Amino acid sequence: MAKKQLEVLDALDVAKTQWYHFTAIIIAGMGFFTDAYDLFCISLVTKLLGRIYYHVEGSEKPGTLPPNVSASVNGVALCGTLAGQLFFGWLGDKMGRKRVYGLTLLLMFVCSVASGLSFGHDAKAVMGTLCFFRFWLGFGIGGDYPLSATIMSEYANKKTRGAFIAAVFAMQGFGILGGGIFAIIMSSIFKASFAAPPYNVDAIASTVPQADYLWRIILMVGALPAVLTYYWRMKMPETARYTALVAKNAKQAASDMSKVLQVDIEAEQKIFETGSSGFGLFSRQFARRHGLHLLGTTSTWFLLDIAFYSQNLFQKDIFSAIGWIPPAKTMNAVEEVYKIARAQTLIALCSTVPGYWFTVAFIDIIGRFAIQLMGFFFMTVFMFALAFPYNHWTHKENRIGFVVIYSLTFFFANFGPNATTFVVPAEIFPARLRSTCHGISAASGKLGAIVGAFGFLYLAQNQDKSKAEAGYPAGIGVKNSLIVLGVVNFLGLLFTFLVPESKGKSLEEMSGENEVET
């Protein structure tokens, strides 16, 4: 049996798209811009860090980060993000979205700046400092996932809600581009200002002392977008759905939204209670109503991120294959940063960013379920297309075809489950548990990212230990790793059937908060 919908929530559901919607997208999206910037930039500077701090005298190749150090530098932010998603997701439901929102941004700002600082000059001190602050940077970024998604879903109207939440997530694409473009600019300046020979001409002189400033500047600039939006985050009112349905203050919710929507909304004095309105996350009622939904959102996000993050492992091989990145020993340190930044920016521009915005354009037309199913399907197809004839793709004349198919897997990840797994958990759970459930789903995804980024780093090594990268044991090879990823994508397709379609429905309709149990 349905119950009466609060007028303020009705007003939000049917509100026309207004300037405040776009303001909210930019304010929320800047967190994701910073997130992508930081994740992108660390992959740019790890090669440089290896040259500066792990140079081996007399070696034919430039220094590289040892496997355990590389895993720590790349993975510690993912671990922080996982913890932050769980903690701030829970806190957002307990204290309110707005009160916690500014805290995550401050944490991101402080830790972005601190990531470029070092307590000491030796490799151990620099890497220790970097890992410490990147963990807490990840912790703040993790909080941004459930809070940004929940705030945007609770502000949006039901007609264009999917596009608005997806647009917040799509700011990641601009973060990747922004990071790449800034790294290109800075490395060009350093290259012009501090000339250096290639490594194979003069190993020591190829890494100029000033290069130690380059990676610090690139990391620290990630703090700027976060701090620029702090003031506007603090000016945003609490979402009407939290104020009315969780804090039980319909009058305040109506007042806040009257100012935002610039219309008069009559404030109800009474909140209509339901017999089941207080059920918790671990209750039988939640398991019966939303248990399968939570299994669907956590499993699909977990499986997606295994495939999505492990794909990044093959980027360096692809860039080298088509001549975007020459062998490391033929470049100096700053030139290598420039070439890697240019290559990754081109991949982002051609496949990553378009995929995000295709989702924004079509999510409220064809729906979340269809986009996610289609994305997983094509990711599976393209991964098997790379895997089974892998030897064919290794021949020089076929490498461009490999790059095209590889780019299409990125495109359909973003015009597919990478966007929808972020959108759906913000729409289908009750207001008092929405942020928590989104945090749990996102944390499951980051667990998949850790499995993808590190499990496959070892798994993809050559089956002959003598041909594996230095410090790594023998693996199953790239071909078999790609087959495993294809299977992972197919499992994601199957688990998508547990996720309900929320297109065109109000949040209360999806969560069952409009129903009175009899």
Residue 210 CB-half CA count within 13 A = 12
> Could you identify the residue written with the tokens 């929530």?
9
| Inter-residue contact 265 to 488 (CB < 8 Å) | no
Per-residue pLDDT tens digits for 91-115: 999 998 888 988 998 999 999 999 9
Separation between Cα atoms, residue 39 and residue 34, nearest integer Å: 9
> Could you identify the residue written with the tokens 């393209």?
382
Per-residue pLDDT tens digits for 283-320: 888 888 899 999 999 999 999 999 888 876 566 656 66
Residue 430 φ/ψ, nearest 5 degrees: -60, 155
Confidence of residue 3 (pLDDT cuts 50, 70, 90): low
Per-residue pLDDT tens digits for 229-240: 888 888 888 888
| Inter-residue contact 462 to 480 (CB < 8 Å) | no
Q: How many CB atoms lie within 10 A of CB 330?
A: 12
Q: Where are the alpha helices (DSSP H) in 327-464?
A: 333-347, 353-366, 368-387, 390-394, 399-414, 417-423, 431-450, 456-459
Separation between Cα atoms, residue 181 and residue 178, nearest integer Å: 5
| Inter-residue contact 52 to 333 (CB < 8 Å) | yes
User: Is residue 18 left, alpha or beta, with left meaning phi > 0 and alpha meaning psi from -120 to 50?
Assistant: beta
Per-residue pLDDT tens digits for 122-163: 899 999 999 999 999 999 999 999 999 999 998 888 888 999
Tokens of 381: 């197809």
Per-residue pLDDT tens digits for 356-412: 999 999 999 999 999 999 999 999 999 999 888 888 877 777 778 887 888 888 899
